[in-house]
Chains A and B, each alone.
Chain A
């Protein structure tokens, strides 16, 4: 367990960041991370060789997806509290803060699976191969999703997609998308 402490503890802040960015609710996100850590502790000796970081993100991601599915089934919406300014650091200058808030708001308009790729690759610095492992999809699908996510976010930011009807997405729209959407 010494070994586990040494390898897992430094990764907790990144796990929190990913969870928060994905579910956009501090309490929910920290619950997910706690759940993830408990599972990691109990499965530490069962894990296969490989990157501990990818393994942890896989556990966390699956927990988040389960939560999305459950709340979708119950017809409830995961509460989003990203408009609370205290979710961001106090150090940022006001103008910068607004810009950050804006990009995070735009991010929530992306379907959950595109958001996940964007965060894992762009923010958490997972390799494309590790992101594919976490999301349990082929690397080609990671690339096409990343491409669509970035294009979509660009349009959101530049305001060119505001009136497009298919722009209004919820977490549920994830299901309608084929999983082998190569090259989109």
Chain B
């Protein structure tokens, strides 16, 4: 079998030493018979070697600080992306609430009663209301399961307030962590996409019964009250007073259980 003809590509692959050994030998034999081509190929090899040698010192240089990859990764994780910004903002909001709460604890008796309840509601609102992906864990379409689940966890019958007369539709709800254990959170929105949250849980010894009190912090506000050992807090983005009729409606329905 006569060997395949030698191509220009073969010559370069020969220079780059990437041919199969058999082909490498064929090219070498060809070059032995063709001194002109051999000279040209030798020149290609020389320039390749010279380039490598001339550029090698660059790769030996110590890396400048700007090219320290660990540092670049670190800076990158400190420079927040828009999504990270949103997450950080939500986290800050909740830490702000929690931080205030802890500072309070250091200065006064640990928060209890309505104050603690309202803070939990404000934190839940700050964390979940801005969420566009999963603001609620169980949707309104499965409200029967939602009620069953929350009632089981709170060890008492939970009723979902119906706020349609006030222009708010139930979106759904979820279990959230309160300072005294589980709490039930319901979320509603109106035709403008404005969201409000109702949080309810059993009260500890303090404030078993407490009148409706306006609550406001960090741009969110609402009301908190307690009836017969069960606390409620309604939180929304607006000034507390605009939410008073809705709070009254929640209380009215709760009392009629």
Contacts and interface: CB of A to CB of B under 8 A. Distances in A.
Interface stretch (A59-67, A142-150, A164-172): A142-150
Interface residues of B, number: 33
B29 interface: no
B76 A13 contact: no
Contact of B73 (A5, A87, A88, A143): A5
Contacts, number: 106
A154 B44 contact: yes
A134 interface: no
B60 A143 contact: no
Chain A's interface size range is 35 or more
Specify the main secondary structure of chain B where it touches its partner.
Answer: helix
Specify the main secondary structure of chain A where it touches its partner.
Answer: helix
B47 interface: yes
A1 B77 CA distance: 10
B165 to A, nearest CB: 48
A13 B57 CA distance: 10
Contacts of A118: 51
A118 B44 CA distance: 11
A42 interface: yes
A20 B64 CA distance: 14
Contacts of B76: 38, 41-42
Given A89-B60, A122-B51, A154-B47, 5 more contacts: A103-B50, A104-B54, A122-B16, A123-B52, A158-B43
Q: Which 5 A-B pairs have the closest CB atoms?
A: A89-B57, A100-B54, A13-B59, A17-B58, A103-B50
